[in-house]
Amino acid sequence: MATKEEQPQALENKEEPKEDGELPLVVVLRPKSFNLPLEDRLQSHFHLLDPNDSPDESIESFLSRRAHSARALLCVGLTPLTADTLCLLPSLELVVGSSAGVEHIDLHECRRRGITVTGASAAFSEDAADYAVALLIDVLRRISAADRFVRGRLWPVKGEHPLGFKLGGKRVGIVGLGNIGSQIAKRLVAFGCSIAYNSRKKKPSIPFPYHANVWDLAANSDVLIVCCALTEDTHHIINKDVMTALGKEGVIINVGRGPLVDEKELVQFLVRGEIGGAGLDVFENEPDVPKELFKLDNVVLSPHCAVVTLESFAALQDLVMANLKAFFSNKPLVSLVQNE
């Protein structure tokens, strides 16, 4: 992940300031520890209302006192946006998300209030897809394990490293064929994999086979790649039954959210050898990772960084700016979160 020092350097294409005057109000909700890399760009076009600028005042007091007429809100990272917070913003019409998922935003309340929500998965989709494929290749070909084998000076002692498995020809089931899932499919088709998918509904324009439930998808796949949104319905969507259906040679890759997978069950399946391997970028209780996974050579672990590159930060800033500008210009939004 880029450091705080690196992020601004990658994004120095600041836009020319407008004349100071009646700039549109935009509320910014962010963690106190997070510096806003695009602050200068935003301030050229919008008047920002950031509760962190008033550290001696509660967020509730700040919003009630200063944001009554604000029509747009930028939700930075995974900052929770609850119904109680939304209640303090009676004029709100738009929430601009800046993360790949939107589970931290109360979509039900936004829908009830008629508040439009935009997401940022489009900014991250290519990099996340690259990472998912990289994890899969690593698990199948045992690249990280081979690296440890050489660095541990085991090659002269043990001789040949265990063989891995070919990627081409694998049946890959993608759980969630949105922006990220579609990019993963595009890449794996080029490797000669056959693709099937599960999503909230069948997509008429997609040529790949659709499975209405994940169990059927797993039963007809060698690999499951999990990249769907985390909701009440998708919590532990990869459960014991799905892992059993995937089988002893099956591989699970998760670049979505940790709670999409029943982590305790996955650990047991891996320890008992009842599943072939896993590539995990996300976990249920981050940054805590089950210690049982550390000693398994068929598991590749990553610290929730699949979507993060210098380029994705640049794309994210452009996307946030585009959505806010479109909203205040009465133009179509760029990355609308669909209400399904």
> Cα–Cα distance between 123 and 35 in angstroms, integer?
19
Catalytic residue among 15, 57, 60, 286: 286
Q: What is the pLDDT of residue 339?
A: 59
257 is catalytic: yes
- Average pLDDT along the chain: 93
Q: What is the pLDDT of residue 267?
A: 98
- Tens-place pLDDT, residues 81-127: 999 999 999 999 999 999 988 999 999 999 999 999 999 999 999 99
Tokens coding 283: 């976990």
Mean pLDDT of 319-329: 98
286 is catalytic: yes
Catalytic residue among 211, 257, 263, 265: 257
Confidence of residue 21 (pLDDT cuts 50, 70, 90): low
- Phi and psi angles of residue 318, each rounded to the nearest 5 degrees, phi first: -60, -40
> Cα–Cα distance between 199 and 228 in angstroms, integer?
8
275 burial level (CB within 10 Å; 0-12, 13-18, 19+): buried
- Tens-place pLDDT, residues 174-214: 999 999 999 999 999 999 999 999 999 999 999 999 999 99
Instruction: Decide: 285 and 258 in contact? Cβ < 8 Å.
Output: yes
Instruction: Decide: 282 and 128 in contact? Cβ < 8 Å.
Output: no
Q: How far is CA 30 from CA 34, 50, 79, in A?
A: 7, 8, 6
Say what the pTM is.
Answer: 0.89
Mean pLDDT of 140-167: 96
- Amino acid 316 reads L
Place of tokens 């500008």: 325
